[in-house]
Amino acid sequence: MERMKRILILCVLGIMVLSLGACVKENVSKETKKNSKETTTKAVQASTDTASTTKADSTTKASVESSTEPKTEAPTETKTEAPTEAPTKEPDVVKYPYLIKVNRACNCVTVYKKDSSDEYTEPVIAFTCSVGDYVPSNPNSEPTPLGEFSISDKYEWGLMLGNVYGRYACRVVTDILFHSVPYYGRNKDTLETDQYNKLGTDASLGCIRLCVRDSKWIYDNCAPGTTVIIYDDASTPGPLGKPLTIKIPEDSPYAGWDPTDETPENPWNNFSAKIEGVEDKTVVAGVDKSVITEGVKAYDKCGNDITEHMEVVGTVDLTKAGTYTVTYKITDGAHSSDEKSAKITVTKQ
């Protein structure tokens, strides 16, 4: 009986131990699940917080960047290979296309350009000028110097001795310049007419005077550094000859204007060279050739008779019956021109 009690007690104790173990296991399982859930919750919360922080930081950064001006990157320098040959030197023909020669003895200027051998031998244009000569009665006068010089500074209006002005002045050496015939003031209608009509003769105080058209040509086309050679050769003015000048009637209402000045308001622009007296003619064979130009006159734009410079183009055989055409041409000192044609009929005697 006593043994049965002991066995019963042991059984009860075993059951209690098993129950207690189950409870402990259940509590541990619950605690584990609880901890796992809390860990998961914290992880999710941490992830959410991190995402929120990242988003906020990104928004803040974007806000800051958008509030400042965008930065421009410096341009990347592109490097090229060094040339294998030395660069070609710019030829002087580009920088100094012309050389100017002044024939002091003939009061003539000739401009040359370079030939195929790179020498200044090809004449381009010629101008009639007035150089200086010493006049005892005028202490300011001096001969235009001989030698080789070069153009330096330029002036559209240059103040000259005697408080007069030269247009399109280009300095050759010291106080010697290319410039127009003087003006009494800086107005284009104040030309010294009497001095203008001396073009082609020694008339300056040492400078090289030109009409406005010609002084402007040098001013526009000959850069500083252009060589100027002044020499004497009375035998010939130059390869292009000495151009015709134009005389201004001193009693003309337009006497203060240079006829070559292309300024639009120049009243001489309303006039031009002209040929008069051209008409068809019938002549008898054997007459003198003067019959071809008889009664024909040529005038420059200032009204001066320049018939002696008129050109007659065409052949008339005054010994043979027939009809011939001749053309009369004239170009004056202001480069104004005219031409007319006529028929000359030759009949048998």
Structure tokens at 296: 């024909």
Ordered by start, the domain boundaries in the chain are 95-231, 271-347
pLDDT reported for residue 8? 52
Query: 48: which 2 tokens?
Result: 């959410």
Cα–Cα distance for residue pair 281/160, rounded to 1 Å: 55
User: Tokens at residue 30, please?
Assistant: 């619950």
pLDDT at 139: 81
CA distance 131 to 210: 9
Q: Do 331 and 306 meet the contact criterion of CB atoms below 8 Å apart?
A: no
Provide the 10 A C-beta neighbour count for residue 106: 21
Distance CA 113, CA 96 (A): 9
CA distance linking residue 9 with residue 133, whole number of Å: 162
pLDDT at position 137, please?
Answer: 80
Strand duo 322-331 + 311-313: pairing: antiparallel
Q: Are 339 and 304 in contact (CB under 8 A)?
A: no
What is the rounded CA–CA span in Å between residue 129 and residue 100?
A: 13
Give which of 229, 208, 255 is closest to 107, Cα–Cα: 208
Write down the pLDDT at residue 219: 98
Superfamily of domain 271-347: Immunoglobulins (2.60.40.10)
pLDDT (tens digit, 0 to 9) for every residue of the chain, 349 residues total? Answer: 555 555 555 555 555 545 444 444 444 344 444 444 444 444 334 344 443 443 334 333 333 333 333 333 333 333 233 333 344 344 444 589 999 999 999 999 999 999 999 999 999 999 999 999 877 787 878 899 999 999 999 999 999 989 999 999 999 999 999 999 999 999 999 999 999 999 999 999 999 999 999 999 999 999 999 999 999 999 999 999 999 999 999 999 999 999 999 999 999 999 999 999 999 999 999 999 999 999 999 999 999 999 999 999 999 999 999 999 999 999 999 999 999 999 999 999 7
Q: Is the distance from CB of 149 to CB of 137 less than 8 angstroms?
A: no
> What is the Cα–Cα distance from 57 to 188, expressed in whole angstroms?
78
Query: Quick one: which H or E segment has residue 180?
Result: strand 176-180
Distance CA 222, CA 207 (A): 17
Q: Which fold has domain 95-231?
A: L,D-transpeptidase catalytic domain-like (2.40.440)
User: Nearest-CA neighbor of 302 among 192, 197, 156?
Assistant: 197
Residue among 294, 202, 323, 181 at smallest CA distance from 247: 181
Give the number of other Cβ atoms within 10 Å of residue 298's Cβ.
27
Give the integer Cα–Cα distance in Å for 205 and 300.
Answer: 29
Residue 128 bridge partners (DSSP): 108
> How far is the C-alpha of 70 from the C-alpha of 87, rounded, in Å?
42
Instruction: Report phi then psi at 63, rounded to 5.
Output: -65, -40
| Confidence at residue 190, expressed as pLDDT on a 0 to 100 scale | 98
Ramachandran angles phi, psi of 254, nearest 5°? -110, 20
Task: Note the pTM of the prediction, 2 decimals.
Answer: 0.71
